[in-house]
A and B are shown apart, each in its own frame.
Chain A
Amino acid sequence: MREKETTLYLGPQHPGITGNMMVKLKVAGDTVVKAETHVGYLHRAFEKLMEQRTWMQSFPIVCRICVPEPDPNEENLARAVEEIEGREVPERAKYIRVMALELSRLAAYMLWMGGQSGGLGLYTAPQWSVGDRDYILDLFEELTGGRIYHMYIWAGGVRRDLPDGFKERVLKTMDYFESRLPEYDKLIFDNAIFKKRTIGIGVIDKEKALEWGVVGPPLRGCGIKHDVRIDEPYEIYDKLEFEVPTVEGGDIYARAMVRRREMEQSISMIRQVLDKMPGGPVYNKVPNPLNWYVPKGDAYVKTESARGEFGYYAVSDGSLKPRRVHVRGPAYVHGVSLLERILVGANISDVSPIMNSLGVCPPEIER
């Protein structure tokens, strides 16, 4: 007997949803027959806002496009403007940028770990990971003056140099993180429940992954090595030694393990950056922001964020304000087209873990 189809509305306010968006599920029994994503609950018109603000005023806006990981947005806008202008960035600033980007990746993965485990009912994990993430937020507070929105990377470099003794405190935090990783393994990644709920769930077809435009950990979780930091190195990534871990399987567990291994790589990169960081200025001053005319031109830049390849296309018409800034976040693919496909056939209770494993950030979709 065919089961009767019911419609379920997951979100927009739901602890299992990342950010605020809604997934309209058609279910037959416990099984999802059709998934439809609905966004619009976080629409703040970032792109349009920027068209009405000067270039410098756009920097405090872009970081709001992703709460868990604002820095790639700042990095992208900064690099886009620099490319249009042909502005040089001091070497030291590049190192500091990479350090900030990797710290923010770690913080984002910490938050993801909490969300991924919490969605499976493993409530100790979020307590731990959000607590540990605070150590990174403390570092950001010290470095940038802000815990969540850093507004630190901007055109020409970074806003301020490292505070005194910052390097030692970062290294100390990295040592702590490194010592915590085995504990997280025991709590989460080796956990029988975690494995049972993630292995073979939410599988992305390796053959289709590239075709669908999947990027970041979900793509690397299909065994495909793709990472902007390696493929088209920006800043000083080409001067660092690191691996891009890939895991076969395409399921939630594979994506989780990619992130787990990347955390080790990030810790190693931060140490290398601090070790190799040259002296010198950190900021190549832009003109007075009230009269900063960015020459005509356009630029597409991309950064490897915690969720994958993150692109910005910026156009300047030679005036004080951006003509257009287009934000292309990985969540657009992951959270809409991909999610709708791989949810079909999933159990209702797996919808939230699948969504979490893709790293969906709704403001990126409706920027």
Chain B
Amino acid sequence: MAFDIKGIISPFNALKQFGKTPHTVKYPYTKKEAAERYRGFHFNDLEECIGCGTCATICQNKAIDMIEIEGIETTTGDSGLRPRVDNGRCCWCALCVEVCPTGSLSLTKDYLHVTDDPDSFLWTPGVDNPDGEKIKSWVSDVEHSLLDYQRIPMRELEGKERVKSFAEVVLGYSEEEAREEAARCIGCGLCTDNCPVHMHIPEYINAIASGHYDDAVRLIYDNNPLGETCGKVCTRRCEDICAVSKRGEPIAIRWLKRFATETAANKEIIAEIVEPEILPPNGHKVAIIGAGPSGLTAAYYLAMRGFDVTIFESKAHAGGMIMYGIPKYRLPLDSIDKQVEYMKSIGVKIQYNTKVGTDITFDELHKNFEAVFVGIGFEVPYSIGIEGENAEGSIQAVNYLREINSERNIDIGDKVVVIGGGNVAIDAARVSRRFGADVTILYRRRVEDMPADWEEIEGAEDEGVHIKTQAIPLENILDENGRVKAIKYANAEMIPDPDGGRPRPKIIEGDEHVMEVTTVIGAIGQEADYSFFSEDIKEKIEIKRGRIVVNDLQQTSVPWLFAGGDISNRRADAISAVADGYRAVKGIEKYILEKS
């Protein structure tokens, strides 16, 4: 190579840079301010966090543990745990932030931690760096979150179509929709804690998401033989506390259960999938009064454990309130039949049209069976307590629904008023709409105070039911034949409760109205009929506010007598009844085994 004079001189150009401030390390050393999106140490808003543990699940370095924190209690919808990050394992990818359903977790601009104590690399974000709130940098709002906060909408019949028949309103998810909806679940399991039965919710949703529907059915039947019923009409406390609902719509747990259970079309298929492991007969006999959800559940699991179970049901069909109380557009008859037939196929015996106290005495049951479970439900309606209540044209919703569900007709005319704000009132109203009547619900409080399911209220409104709130009925006005022709009611104002309870309605004096009606339907609650108990039993058991007091295994103060469902449970819904039945099985088994 020739002598390269240019190549020797040109590098000296670098001298021009001499004395320039470097971009990298400056002296004296100053800490660099991190960018707006910097992914530094974690911060957790302890109040917002619900301890769902999704951050720990997604962490591909297993750097996050969920630990107990002083001052944070386990409550409904909050596990009481909070994430602790091992900063020796963390790679600051922020996947934990992207899947945090509440948005409580974030990364901060803080990136320096110098110490000789290796344990100090374990940080509980929010506890160890409460100041992190001010330097949050990588945050995940709903838009950027990896979770899907929008529920797959459920297809339903149009309001106008619905009122033409008793066809099921909810059409159900298609396979694709179900899998998509199930995929939204983060599997935290907070729902399980809030389910009275503690169903295996994340597990069966996971099974649906992966397309293993049989597994889902098996998991559902593991502790709920009325999964299909619950899939249609459950009050779904699980969804109330779903972690995803913190910033979006909860996973449609009920509809997913419905989808899974409906994949088993008949009792043979259910049996084939569930493969119930039935123990050989153990010779012990148990009687169950009432084939409602609690009685059926108890019977099913007792039969599986080898007990000789007989249910005594006063009516011609099993199901209790789910059969006679819930309208068929919510829970079709063939669905109930399918579930009951499956239970019978594994050994549950049901004696229909057998009313205890009339057709067979309670003492006889006690004599012939080692334990008795009572699940008779609340069938006797409360009276509204207004004049003209017993007149023709004034009926009770539970009686009305029972008659309709028994396929007997009741002439309600074309103008119906339903009194009450619970699910029974809504059911009565929507059923009446299906007979072409113009229906108005009179409720003493506000819509937001209605104990009925919001979806039911919406459904009723879609179907054209009028809801008149803050209206207190005063009197049924009768015509010359003694038939109800109008109802007089007064408007009410809401008076705040000084003790912080819910506001109470107070009649506005003089603000009275009269509405012409053909039928008034009362739906302000029910109670139980305990008349079949003998006097000495009535003395021994404790009844508080109309409900039998039981222990945590549904046992009354009479050791061989167990109770469940509405008569012992204030929740008064199907899933609580199923839970009672499930617990009673353990109680009855324990009682009988300890006795013998």
Contact = CB atoms under 8 A, between A and B. Distances in A.
Interface of A: 53, 56-61, 64, 122, 124, 128, 130-132, 134-135, 138, 141-146, 149, 151, 159-160, 163, 183, 185-188, 190-196, 199, 283, 285-293, 319-320
Given A132-B23, A186-B13, A145 B185 contact: no
Given A124-B14, A288-B147, A57 B183 contact: no
B24 A56 contact: no
Given A144-B37, A287-B183, 4 more contacts: A60-B60, A130-B24, A145-B92, A290-B57
Contacts of A291: 182-185, 206, 209-210
Nearest to B40: A145
Looking at chain B's contact residues, the main secondary structure is: loop
Contacts of B209: 291, 293
Nearest to B34: A141
A195 B180 CA distance: 62
Which 4 pairs show the lowest CB-CB distances between chains A and B? A192-B7, A60-B93, A57-B60, A291-B183
A122 B14 CA distance: 12
Given A146-B92, A195-B4, A291-B209, A159 B39 contact: no
B214 interface: no
B144 interface: yes
B107 A145 contact: yes
Contacts of B186: 288, 290
Given A142-B35, A149-B91, A290 B54 contact: yes
Nearest to A50: B60
B95 A289 contact: yes
A318 to B, nearest CB: 9
Interface string B516-559: 00000000000000000000000000000000000000000000
Nearest to B107: A145
Looking at chain A's contact residues, the main secondary structure is: helix
A185 B13 CA distance: 10
Interface string B1-30: 100101110110110010000111000000
Interface of B: 1, 4, 6-8, 10-11, 13-14, 17, 22-24, 34-39, 54, 57-58, 60, 91-95, 98-99, 107, 137-138, 144, 146-148, 180, 182-187, 206, 209-210
Contacts of B1: 195-196, 199
A279 B515 CA distance: 60
Give the interface centre of A59, A186, A292 by most chain B CB atoms within 10 Å: A186
Nearest to B37: A145
A149 B6 CA distance: 40
Contacts of A59: 93
A128 B210 CA distance: 54
A128 B148 CA distance: 46
Contacts of A320: 210
B336 to A, nearest CB: 32
Given A128-B17, A290-B54, A187 B11 contact: yes
Contacts of B98: 159, 289
B37 A142 contact: yes
Given A134-B23, A288-B183, A141 B35 contact: yes
A57 B58 contact: yes
A192 B13 CA distance: 14
Nearest to A291: B183
B14 A145 contact: no
B148 A288 contact: yes
Contacts of A283: 144
A284 B8 CA distance: 55
B8 A56 contact: no
28 contacts: A56-B58, A57-B60, A57-B95, A58-B60, A59-B93, A124-B14, A131-B24, A135-B23, A144-B37, A159-B144, A183-B14, A185-B10, A190-B10, A190-B11, A191-B11, A194-B7, A287-B180, A287-B184, A288-B99, A288-B146, A288-B148, A288-B184, A288-B185, A288-B186, A289-B58, A290-B187, A293-B183, A319-B210
B37 to A, nearest CB: 4
Contacts of A128: 14, 17
A272 to B, nearest CB: 25
Nearest to A164: B36
B237 to A, nearest CB: 23
Contacts of A319: 210
Contacts of B11: 122, 124, 186-188, 190-191, 193
B14 A151 contact: no
Nearest to A319: B210
B38 to A, nearest CB: 6
Given A190-B10, A195-B1, A290 B37 contact: no
A145 B35 contact: yes
A289 B92 CA distance: 17
B148 A60 contact: no
B192 to A, nearest CB: 16
B8 A192 contact: yes
A142 B182 CA distance: 36
A289 B60 CA distance: 12
Give the interface centre of A130, A132, A159, A291 by most chain B CB atoms within 10 Å: A291
A39 B296 CA distance: 67
Given A151-B93, A191-B11, A290-B54, A146 B183 contact: no
